[in-house]
Structure 1
Amino acid sequence: MFEEASEVFENMFKASFPLSFIVLLPAVLFLVSPLPAEAAHEFTVYRMQQYDLQGQAYGTRSSVLNTEARTVEADVLSRRCVIMRLLDFSYEKYQKALRQSAGAVVIILPQNMSTMPQDIVQQFMEIEPELLATETIVPVYFALEEEELLSIYEQTLTSSSSQGLASAAEVLLHTATANGFQMVTSGAQSKAVSDWAITSLEGRLAGVGGEDLPTIVLVAHYDSFGVAPWLSYGADSNGSGVSVLLELARLFSRLYTYKRTHAAYNLLFFVSGGGKFNYQGTKRWLEDNLDHTDSSLLQDNVAFVLCLDTLGSSDSLHLHVSKPPKEGSPQHTLLKELETVSSSQYPEVKFSMVHKKINLADDTLAWEHERFGIRRLPAFTLSHLESHRSAARSSIMDVRSVPGKGTQVDVQTLSRNTKIIAEALARVIYNLTGKGAPEDLQIFTEQMQVQEEQLSSVLDWLTSQPRAAQLVDKESPVVGTLEYYLSRYLKDVKRHYVKADKRDPEFVFYDQLKQVMNAYRVKPAIFDLLLALCIAVYLGVMYLAIQNFGLLYSVVRKVTQPKAKQH
């Protein structure tokens, strides 16, 4: 069949060159045209935070994206998807895209945050609160670097950078030949999530020697926060605090197992949810225990509440208080014991007390202990951060990283801080200073020492998954594993749930936080215009050739006919 077809085309070509030209040229153009290989790429994107807190909207308000890609260097960004790499990102460029009515913004992050230069990490951490401070209408997404996505970025950058070309003709040619990409998300428009439950956990160790015993409460919130929920791993804030609390539960459960070391203090451990959303889990827990029940350890003699937050790095420890403790009170005793243990056993640690009054006019509380302070319970927060405004508390850069790169959690530092807290608590519980015990006395040694490997494994597990409050429901493995861990060492482990009020919700979460984005290869509109013009010219030439076929044929025959041999 192919041989017969080739003979037909050969005879046609020999007999009529113009006809063969008309037929074969489009066929050749069709056959040599580029195949639609690699015309589309698919990758995962993570949307910026969207939530309401105390009636105030935060983050991006949209999730639907179907626009052509541009980089911030382009002259026109209106209704375009602006792609930026973190290395080139700045708040000014982000604002430029929004001012020019960009259709969306996609920020490309490195696969490993710890590889980023420290100055870029610090700069982005400081920008994150500003990105969330105001409501953003256009969708804002984050994507992790991969080869195909970087290729799309480079090609888009090339097509966006036509300002330096010399002439209008070059600009036109550059625009027509450059590759473009249509960025499309697969998900629907985001909507509020109804009946979302924030889960908190409680467990206790009962003291010995009577019913009316003082209670020490140890608290740490487990949820993380950052500009994108699915990228929020919260290594230092507050994976470190939860790791310390769990290790303290293990250590004191062993002490409370033996009669000789069973102290006359109740220990109450509380792992709270919704900490990054104005401590919603703690607020509801306090309401349940103080307002709606007759039997609660919080209604008895509370010695103090110690909240643990960001303890995984630095040689500083700060005890944040809303009201300086009175001399002779259990709170003052703990303060002095922390100073004693730090100075005598770990002289490299700089310990201090930071006093800050509760500002009820602020939209959110500074530290978790302020929730207890509002209910007139003596409380404070222990942290290596001197200020609650530190960007490290709410950043996607808060990851387990190599030394010198980004926010790091050093396990040895975490173990040391756990030892300081455990020793200070033990000195308070057993009144060791009043009994004349030396300042350098250590209780948690040998078989009772802090297990650095266990601290590391708990922290590895916590930071292996994002723990944003919008992602951790009551069926989450995070909650289940924490409950199992507490049940190994504590009694009466319970769950507490928080749901937003339907009439006047204090918090509202939204879905569509993780989506699949497709990048389709497209040509710009000018390409279609030039292609239509070329087709029109071609058809015009073909029309004239057919109308004057006789004349054209005679000219071609005269040109192609071999000259007669002269004798």
Structure 2
Amino acid sequence: MWFDELGEVFEMFKGSFPLSFLFFIPIFIIISPVSPVNAAQEFAVYRMQQYDLQGSTFGCKNAIINMEARSIDSKMLTRRCAVAKLQDVTMPKYRDLMTQNAGALLVILPSNLTSLSPEEKQHLQSLEQELMHEQSTVPVYFALESEYLQDIYVDVQEGNSGDNAPTAWEALLSSASANGFQLMVSGSQAEAMPDFEIANIQGRLSGYGIEEQLPTIAIVAHYDAKGVAPALSFGADSNGSGMIMLLELARLFSKLYTNSRTHAKYNLVFLLSGGGKFNYQGSKRWIEDNFEAAEGNILNDVAFVLCLDSLGSSDNLNLHVSKPPRDDSAGGQFYKHLNEVSKSHFPEVKVGMVHKKINLGDEMLAWEHERYSIKRMLAFTLSHLDTHKTFDRSSITDKRETVSPQVISRNTHLLAEALARQIYNLTSQGTFQMFTDTLSVEDNVVEAWLNYLANEPRAAQVLKSDSEVVLTLEQTMGQYLKDVRKTLLKADKRDPEFVFYTGAEYQMNAYNVKPAVFDLFLALCIAGYLALAYFFAQNFHVIYYALKRSVIPVSPKTKVN
């Protein structure tokens, strides 16, 4: 009978229980709805800014995470990592996290930041500015959305549904059935880099004649970018476009200065300054080294300083000045040339002047030219922006897709023509163009530079003096200019104006775990199972015979006469 065979099977497993148990483990794994491959995943995360500037501390101080993931709307976030999408994060919620002593915050960003709607972009940029000016001990990380991160977010949100359950029993069951995640960022804490070096790269084109007696025009552009996360700060427009224009101007005028017939009686100085997003530290030190030095003063007879910033989009060109130049001054003439060239050759471009006085009470200067204006040099910044307060200048949304290489080429051509009229004293030339044919702006070079610079994070913290970007810029300037050199500056150790910290990009591990209440349910189930198995084993013969009698009919007794 099949009951007898069943009993023999039980006896077989009873005699070799440890080995027979291993037989069932692969079966349980195969039929399990949870894939062991997804039990742990590793993905890149980007830490929020951390720096000191002029004695003030900004950003988050800590970097290490090893805690349970919870939704940002959870009622209990103490010693937990809040996981949220961009649209879920607001400054009131962020400050509420600080009040609850949350362990960390992970913000999931859209994988394509250029696809944000205008409202989403404004929300992100506003959030960036406020976060960067907050001081916090809570680690804040950003991650680009992926399929696995989407699954984590959904599971965390479902785990949070127990907080809104109508009864305590339903909340307990919801917590036990939800999937939890343990998030961990290993490594060392972020440390200050007191010996960090910011590099300035300068070169010159000497004018025809006695160099010391010739006027000088300085063209300046800072090369670093800034955003809420250093490793996501590419700065395609601010200030990748300004860098590209400076390099292209250096190439064009180097051709003119190598020909004796077009060798102008002006010295041209080109400077790629570092630390521009941190109150223009590179320009500040360059002025000290060259303007205030007893010897080697290349700014002794400066006609004006032209700073380039954010010139890769829009049909507007604004000349930002601290003091409106007189019409007969070098600045007034240059502004006149800009208008003449735009009207003659680029009628779609609207050239204007924006006047803003320097507020020495502000911790941060508005534009780079203000560093030079403070030293009573005629200086201005050319930009398509109409105000320094726009969030586009310091945002991770400043990507390659927001910049047009055609606009950069056009603005470079316009600026080159205006400078040529200035240094060659070409007034009222009408439709005359100097930069045509072999001397024209090379669109393919502009686009190649844009693609390169917009794919390399250029936050000041990640641009060391020997980084690939800095070395490439130095080598390129060496092809066109003379006396190219890289000068390094460090913060004063006693009273540092700036301090940068390590740790811009980390690897985060997410482990799929069950919450602690699940362990309680599991312990109860195991205890019940063991009790039932023990009872079944001790009374197996009784159960066996009882089942046998209930299933097998009893034969009727034969009647005896």
1:518 counterpart residue number: 509
1:558 partner SS:
helix
Q: TM (normalized to structure 1)?
A: 0.91
State the alpha-carbon separation in 2 of the partners of residues 28 and 19 from structure 1.
16
Deviation at 1:475, TM superposition (A): 1.1
- Change in 2 beyond 3 A, CA 1:25/1:482: closer
Q: Give yes or no for the alignment of 1:454 onto 2:455.
A: no
The answer on whether the counterparts of 1:18 and 1:553 sit within 8 Å (CA) in structure 2 is: no
1:69 partner SS:
strand
- Change in 2 beyond 3 A, CA 1:200/1:12: same
State the alpha-carbon separation in 2 of the partners of residues 239 and 41 from structure 1.
35
Letter in 2 for 1:420: L
Letter in 1 for 2:249: L
1:32 counterpart residue number: 28
State the alpha-carbon separation in 2 of the partners of residues 258 and 192 from structure 1.
50
Cα shift readout 1:66-121 (whole Å, capped 9, x = no counterpart): 11111223232222211112244433443343333221111112232222223211
State the alpha-carbon separation in 1 of the partners of residues 11 and 361 from structure 2.
93
2:263 counterpart residue number: 262
State the alpha-carbon separation in 1 of the partners of residues 63 and 298 from structure 2.
45
Q: Give yes or no for the alignment of 1:414 onto 2:408.
A: yes
Q: Which moved more, 1:438-447 or 1:23-32?
A: 23-32
2:281 counterpart residue number: 280
The sequence identity of aligned pairs, in percent, is 50
State the alpha-carbon separation in 2 of the partners of residues 271 and 16 from structure 1.
82
Letter in 2 for 1:470: Q
Deviation at 1:19, TM superposition (A): 9.9
The answer on whether the counterparts of 1:125 and 1:395 sit within 8 Å (CA) in structure 2 is: yes
Deviation at 1:427, TM superposition (A): 0.8
- Change in 2 beyond 3 A, CA 1:451/1:22: closer
Deviation at 1:14, TM superposition (A): 6.2
Deviation at 1:458, TM superposition (A): 1.1
1:404 counterpart residue number: none
Q: Which moved more, 1:139-148 or 1:41-50?
A: 139-148
- Change in 2 beyond 3 A, CA 1:17/1:385: closer
State the alpha-carbon separation in 2 of the partners of residues 76 and 329 from structure 1.
65
Deviation at 1:323, TM superposition (A): 1.5
1:463 counterpart residue number: 454
Aligned pairs (5 A) from 1:353-368 = 353-368=353-368
State the alpha-carbon separation in 1 of the partners of residues 541 and 14 from structure 2.
7
2:75 counterpart residue number: 75
Aligned pairs (5 A) from 1:86-125 = 86-125=86-125
Aligned pairs (5 A) from 1:160-171 = 160-171=160-171
The answer on whether the counterparts of 1:70 and 1:83 sit within 8 Å (CA) in structure 2 is: yes
- Change in 2 beyond 3 A, CA 1:430/1:75: same
The answer on whether the counterparts of 1:187 and 1:512 sit within 8 Å (CA) in structure 2 is: no
Q: TM (normalized to structure 2)?
A: 0.92
The answer on whether the counterparts of 1:13 and 1:20 sit within 8 Å (CA) in structure 2 is: no
1:205 counterpart residue number: 205
Tell me the number of residue pairs that the alignment of Structure 1 and Structure 2 aligns. Answer: 547
2:258 partner SS:
coil
1:559 counterpart residue number: 547
- Change in 2 beyond 3 A, CA 1:17/1:60: closer
Cα shift readout 1:415-474 (whole Å, capped 9, x = no counterpart): 1211221111111101111xxx43332211222122222111111111110011111111
Deviation at 1:317, TM superposition (A): 1.1
The answer on whether the counterparts of 2:254 and 2:480 sit within 8 Å (CA) in structure 1 is: yes
Deviation at 1:155, TM superposition (A): 1.4
2:483 partner SS:
strand
Q: Give yes or no for the alignment of 1:376 onto 2:376.
A: yes
Cα shift readout 1:358-402 (whole Å, capped 9, x = no counterpart): 11111111110011111221111011111111100000000011x
The answer on whether the counterparts of 1:222 and 1:467 sit within 8 Å (CA) in structure 2 is: yes
Unaligned runs of 5+ in 2: none
Deviation at 1:498, TM superposition (A): 0.9
- Change in 2 beyond 3 A, CA 1:292/1:15: closer
Aligned pairs (5 A) from 1:336-355 = 336-355=336-355
Deviation at 1:352, TM superposition (A): 1.3
State the alpha-carbon separation in 1 of the partners of residues 451 and 20 from structure 2.
66
RMSD (CA atoms): 2.5
The answer on whether the counterparts of 2:306 and 2:379 sit within 8 Å (CA) in structure 1 is: yes
The answer on whether the counterparts of 1:12 and 1:19 sit within 8 Å (CA) in structure 2 is: no
Deviation at 1:516, TM superposition (A): 0.7
The answer on whether the counterparts of 2:13 and 2:20 sit within 8 Å (CA) in structure 1 is: no
The answer on whether the counterparts of 1:43 and 1:517 sit within 8 Å (CA) in structure 2 is: yes
2:136 partner SS:
coil
The answer on whether the counterparts of 1:58 and 1:135 sit within 8 Å (CA) in structure 2 is: yes
1:3 counterpart residue number: none
Which of 488, 513, 528 pairs up with 1:537?
528
State the alpha-carbon separation in 2 of the partners of residues 151 and 113 from structure 1.
20
1:131 partner SS:
helix
1:271 counterpart residue number: 272
The answer on whether the counterparts of 1:306 and 1:369 sit within 8 Å (CA) in structure 2 is: yes
The answer on whether the counterparts of 1:249 and 1:490 sit within 8 Å (CA) in structure 2 is: yes
- Change in 2 beyond 3 A, CA 1:522/1:209: same
2:293 counterpart residue number: 292
Deviation at 1:62, TM superposition (A): 0.7
2:397 partner SS:
coil
Q: Which moved more, 1:85-94 or 1:478-487?
A: 85-94
State the alpha-carbon separation in 1 of the partners of residues 352 and 124 from structure 2.
29
